[in-house]
Structure 1
Amino acid sequence: MTTGVRRRMGVEERKQQLIGVALELFSHRSPDEVSIDEIAAAAGISRPLVYHYFPGKQSLYEAALRRAADELAARFVEPPRGPLGARLLRVMGRFFDFVDEHGPGFAALMRGGPAVGSSTTNAMIDEVRQAAYEQILAHLKVEKPSARLELVVRSWVSLAESTALLWLDGRRVPRAELELQLVHDFAALAAVSAAYDEEMAEILVGLLADEPADGPFGDLVARLVALVPSAAAAPVVPDQRLR
């Protein structure tokens, strides 16, 4: 008969274990509701030992957010192959995978959670947004974006974030619809900006030239065209303010 012997972890290995345990707990409940005692129990160690590796819950929370932020930023990485619409749709799929798997943790990362106001947490949030912004520019093959293009891309990144946060509150809209809608939103933002700016118009024309009719952007055009007969048939109501 043999007796199992628990292997002693090294310092870095133990820290990574605690970060993983904390992130798992934060992914299913608000960080405010998770105690050091619960983290210690889940890791199979004592409460004092947790404090041996992390000075407090705040430092462990920030370490867990660091891992979550790195993983979330990686979700925006996509090989530059194929039509942009399909690429963005795959990115949105991975983005919502993360949101779905780490709901409370995602909300805590983007809203600040118990670390609201922390310069460390705010910096991590900005890093995720910047990573997403840079990835989109890379797909557009633009190194020095114009003011309008920067506005379009940053607005879209912010829209994806706020959409995901609202979706978590009840999941009232089917996830797949939101993923497609966000890809359509990107095209719509670019199209509106193109109406005001020649450089944006060139980018939009180049973007649409490689899009297949059955792709996400083609789907948007088809949906808009289907609305035209209804819009044309609708009676024009005079604006009383012009009288």
Structure 2
Amino acid sequence: MTTGVRRRMGVEERRQQLIGVALELFSRRSPDEVSIDEIASAAGISRPLVYHYFPGKLSLYEAALKRASDDLAARFVEPHEGPLGARLLRVMRRFFDFVDEHGPGFSALMRGGPAVGSSTTNALIDSVRQAAYVQILSHLGVTDPPARLELVVRSWISLAESTALIWLDGRRIPRAELEVQLVHDFAALTAVSAAQDAEMGALMRRIAQEEPADGPFARLAGRLPALAT
């Protein structure tokens, strides 16, 4: 008969384990509601040992946010293949996968939590937004965006955040519909800007030319005339 022996973890391995455990707990409940005792119990270690690796819950929360922010930023990475509308739709599906999996933690980060307002948290949020911004520009094939395009892309990223937060509060609209709506929102923001700026107009025409008849942008364009009748 063999006797089970708990393997001793190295310092970095233990830190990563605690970050993973904390992130899992923060994903199910607001970080304010999760105690160090719960984290220690879920990790199978003592409360003092948690403090050996992290000075307090705030530092552990920030470490968990760093892992989550890296994950969220990666959701915006998409191969440059196929029409833009289909690419953005795949990005929105992965974005909402994250929101769905980490609802309370995502909400706490954006609305209020133990580290909100700290320089670390603000930097993490900004890094995700910047990563999303860079990815969208790369899909548009633009390296030096004009002011109106920067406004459109950054406004759309903020809109995606706000939409996700509202959706989490009751989930009253089917998630799949919101994913498509956000892709349509991007097209609408671009079209409004294109109506006032020749450079944006040229970009809008290029996007439209590459969009297939069954793509999300084309479906939106097909529905708009009916609203005017």
Q: TM-score range by the shorter chain?
A: over 0.9
Q: After superposition, what is the alpha-carbon deviation per residue over 1:119-155, rounded to whole angstroms, capped at 9, x for unaligned? A: 1000100000000011000000000000000000000
State the one-letter code of the partner of 2:52: H
Distance 1:126 1:92 in 2: 19
State the one-letter code of the partner of 1:137: L
| Identity among equivalent pairs (%) | 81
Distance 2:172 2:117 in 1: 30
1:186 aligns with: 186
2:126 aligns with: 126
Q: After superposition, what is the alpha-carbon deviation per residue over 1:21-76, rounded to whole angstroms, capped at 9, x for unaligned? A: 00000000000000000000000000000000000000000000000000000000
State the one-letter code of the partner of 1:51: Y
The Cα of 1:111 is off from its aligned counterpart by 2.7
Is the 1:112–1:121 contact (alpha carbons within 8 Å) kept by the matching residues of 2? no
Is the 2:129–2:157 contact (alpha carbons within 8 Å) kept by the matching residues of 1? yes
1:7 aligns with: 7
Distance 2:108 2:67 in 1: 13
Distance 2:147 2:116 in 1: 30
The Cα of 1:112 is off from its aligned counterpart by 4.1
Does the alignment pair 1:40 with 2:40? yes
Q: After superposition, what is the alpha-carbon deviation per residue over 1:176-222, rounded to whole angstroms, capped at 9, x for unaligned? A: 00000000000000000000000000000001100001010011011
1:26 aligns with: 26
1:89 aligns with: 89
Is the 2:77–2:135 contact (alpha carbons within 8 Å) kept by the matching residues of 1? yes
Superposition map of 1:127-206 within 5 A: 127-206=127-206
Question: Greater CA radius of gyration, 1 or 2?
Answer: 1
Q: Which runs of 5+ in 1 are unaligned?
A: 230-243
Is the 2:109–2:116 contact (alpha carbons within 8 Å) kept by the matching residues of 1? no
Q: After superposition, what is the alpha-carbon deviation per residue over 1:151-183, rounded to whole angstroms, capped at 9, x for unaligned? A: 000000000000000100000010000000000
Is the 1:112–1:122 contact (alpha carbons within 8 Å) kept by the matching residues of 2? no
Runs of 4+ in 1 over 3 A off after TM superposition: none
Distance 1:133 1:117 in 2: 22
Distance 2:156 2:172 in 1: 21
2:51 aligns with: 51
The Cα of 1:114 is off from its aligned counterpart by 1.2
Distance 2:222 2:17 in 1: 50
The Cα of 1:116 is off from its aligned counterpart by 1.8
Q: Which runs of 5+ in 2 are unaligned?
A: none
TM-score using structure 2 length: 0.99
Range moving further from structure 2, 17-26 or 100-109:
100-109
- Secondary structure of the residue aligned to 1:114 is coil
Is the 2:69–2:125 contact (alpha carbons within 8 Å) kept by the matching residues of 1? yes
Distance 1:181 1:223 in 2: 13
Q: How many residues align?
A: 229
Distance 2:226 2:11 in 1: 62
State the one-letter code of the partner of 2:225: V
1:63 aligns with: 63
State the one-letter code of the partner of 2:169: D
User: What RMSD over aligned residues (CA atoms) do the two structures have, in Å?
Assistant: 0.7
